[in-house]
Amino acid sequence: MYIDILYNVYRAVLDIFARLTVYTLCAIMRIVGEERTISAPATLPHRRGDTMPVSESKKKANAKWDSENMATVACKIKKSQAEKFKSYCSSIGKTSNAVIRDYVLECIDEKEPATGDNPTE
């Protein structure tokens, strides 16, 4: 949660500096008498995964891997309890899925698999 806020602030600051740089260059060029047009970059660098949509073949491969290697663990609870749980998860900066997964792995004395075991990541 906080990392997203910081990242958004970082992007806003980068955008401001990019625009200030362009305005400064334009002012200098006017002073020197050059008539070229300079514009700010259309986009700033994005986080990994933000630059391109996932292709249909990648989605299909991910779904196939998930169906062969993953299972869903679920339970029914009252809506009020679910809302309290979601609030708890949000307060610790995790998703409800991450909290439940961590708890299950702790119960069975297993750690998260090493990165690369799941091609969907």
Question: For 47-95, how does the pLDDT look when each residue is reduced to its tens digit (9 = 90+)?
Answer: 555 556 788 999 999 999 999 999 999 899 999 999 999 999 999 999 9
63-97 burial by CB neighbour count: b if 16+ within 10 A, else e? eeeeeeeeeeeeeeeeeeeeeeeeeebeeeeeeee
Burial of 43 (0-12, 13-18, 19+ CB in 10 A): exposed
Q: Counting runs of H as helices and runs of E as strands, what totals does the chain give?
A: 4, 0
For residues 101 and 14, the model is more confident at: 101
Q: How confident is the model at residue 27 (pLDDT cuts 50, 70, 90)?
A: confident
Q: How confident is the model at residue 116 (pLDDT cuts 50, 70, 90)?
A: very low
Distances (CA, A) of 44 to 5, 10, 48: 17, 11, 13
CB 48 within 8 A of CB 64: no
For residues 90 and 121, the model is more confident at: 90
Q: How confident is the model at residue 14 (pLDDT cuts 50, 70, 90)?
A: confident
pLDDT given for residue 121 in this prediction: 45
111/58 Cα distance (integer angstroms): 27
pTM of the model: 0.46
Q: Which of 119, 9, 17, 1 is nearest to 69 (CA)?
A: 119
Confidence check: pLDDT of 36 > 70: no
